[in-house]
Amino acid sequence: RLRTAIAGYRRELKTLGATVESEDSAFEKQLEKLEKLKRQERYEEYNDLVDDYNDLAAKLKKHIAAYNALVT
């Protein structure tokens, strides 16, 4: 039973790890967009993207916490 449980945890870790990587990549791209808009002083567009950025940050934080909890 223990081996089955460990195998299940490994699958979960792999899935969560892939999710975290994907979300981290999207998060970094969103950050780059925001920085570019800020440099170009396109503040209205910048402000429109801030909510999306914050949503991505919250999702990433949640999935990282779940991953870390599973590792523990």
Question: Do residues 56 and 30 lie in contact, with contact meaning Cβ atoms separated by under 8 Å?
Answer: yes
CA distance 28 to 56: 10
- pLDDT of res. 70: 87
pLDDT confidence of 71, banded at 50, 70, 90? confident
Structure confidence by residue, pLDDT tens digits, 8-41: 999 999 999 999 999 999 999 999 999 999 999 9
Q: Which residues of 13-46 are buried (b: 16+ CB within 10 A; e: fewer)?
A: eeebeebbeebeeebeebeeebeebeeeeeeeeb
DSSP state of 72: -
Structure confidence by residue, pLDDT tens digits, 35-70: 999 999 999 999 999 999 999 999 999 999 999 998
